[in-house]
Structure 1
């Protein structure tokens, strides 16, 4: 498994190395901005990557609908998290690309940061939802996390659970940056002149 996670090509051209270094720089800058902005800023929800995550979230509702309202509501978050995981598995196991896998791990972390404000909003219902609705003015069950936490008796823990989601996302982003950086460090002496 270590070989899969840490392998790098014996030779890499300078263009590929430079491109990966720029991607890593983007991961560092953007990841830091998202982590330090905090939950209340909804920085992930305001970024263009939220628009990439949103179709997978909504598709999760549809895919899990046959299993009942609770699982369908949870399915949005599950769908949003499954897509980066599937991409990670594909890049690692099929194409043997640990750097690409690290980038997808960063994306998974970003999704946890994207979910945190939604969880945090369960009681307040202030975030805009699909169709121009807001949690406080929409029918019960429309705000996923209000419904999920109310049904499980955990609504009063919305802020704590949001912090857990933000913490998991922050950790994943930090680890993905370290992983990608280590891979580039190992690749650096091998680059072609």
Structure 2
């Protein structure tokens, strides 16, 4: 029975992660290949950029992530001050995770799911400099202030790590966030590349000889 359950679970995951369309449009496939190439170059840049650099915080993706971060503070406000501060970072990660589930379960589009996974990884890398700044408090924040000139609690990760007694581990947690992001981005790129290769095989079989 246990083996049957494992086989059933494996079959469901395979169907979700590697669902193949019955037909592939050549133009759509080419557009996705171009998108994958852009995400690969972008992902390599994020992965190789030092945490202390402003590569993640000054990128286009930071502007995409910021509204979700701010919305997270509002959404998690009923759960207390620590969760209110943590909610911004949580929402950055939860939003692409929700998109990933929608793409896999609702729209049955695992390539779009690979993009959502890439976005999730980028969010972890986006958060790393903020976490890393928890003690130095030099990073510019919303409103133009830096953490050292702001009231206690304005810098999310200073407040989170001090309130939980983990402030001395800020650099370690930041590096962990960056590594998780790098692994997710790399996984997403390999996943997307594999899917496009399988789509190309379908495209070839459908093309006139």
Pairwise same-fold verdict (TM > 0.5)? yes
Deviations 1:30-80 (A, max 9, x none): 000011012111311110110110000000001111111111001011111
Show the counterpart of 1:33. 45
Q: Which runs of 5+ in 1 are unaligned?
A: none
Show the counterpart of 2:122. 110
Show the counterpart of 1:99. 111
Query: Relative CO higher for 1 or 2, CA cutoff 8 Å, sep ≥ 6?
Result: 1
Query: Counterparts in 2 of 1:1-193, with a 5 A limit?
Result: 1-191=13-203, 192-193=206-207
Runs of 4+ in 1 over 6 A off after TM superposition: none
Q: Distance in 2 between matches of 1:190 and 1:153?
A: 55
Q: Distance in 2 between matches of 1:169 and 1:112?
A: 5
Q: Which runs of 5+ in 2 are unaligned?
A: 1-12
Q: Is the 8 A contact 1:60 1:76 kept in 2?
A: yes
Deviations 1:95-141 (A, max 9, x none): 00000000000000000000000000000111111111111110000
Aligned residue for 1:180, secondary structure, equals: helix
- Displacement after TM superposition at 1:25 (Å): 0.3
**What root-mean-square deviation, in Å, do the aligned CA atoms of Structure 1 and Structure 2 show?**
0.8
Aligned residue for 1:130, secondary structure, equals: coil
Q: Distance in 2 between matches of 1:123 and 1:13?
A: 52
Q: Distance in 2 between matches of 1:46 and 1:52?
A: 11
Show the counterpart of 2:10. none
Q: Distance in 1 between matches of 2:193 and 2:160?
A: 38
Number of aligned positions between the proteins? 193
